[in-house]
Amino acid sequence: IDRKIGKPLTYILHDNKNDPYQMKNIASDNMPLVNKLITEELIPWLEHSGDVWRPTEVSAKAVNAYI
């Protein structure tokens, strides 16, 4: 998940076996499935495991608060 300030989240998946140089983003081929897997699988697993990282957008205001 790529977080850029002021931009919507983008999802990046690479097939390291068939594309070792990570030239093709396979997430862009089936974005509805990627969104479904993130909301139904990844986020619940992060919550279950106590991982505080979440796929959320980062606002410029939030970043400036730490600078």
C-alpha distances (whole Å) from 31 to each of 11, 23, 51, 62 are: 8, 17, 24, 27
Confidence at residue 56, expressed as pLDDT on a 0 to 100 scale:
64
Residue 10: strand, helix, or coil: strand
pTM above 0.75, yes or no: no
Confidence at residue 53, expressed as pLDDT on a 0 to 100 scale:
73
Q: Mean pLDDT per 10-residue run, the chain (67 residues)?
A: 71 93 93 90 88 68 68
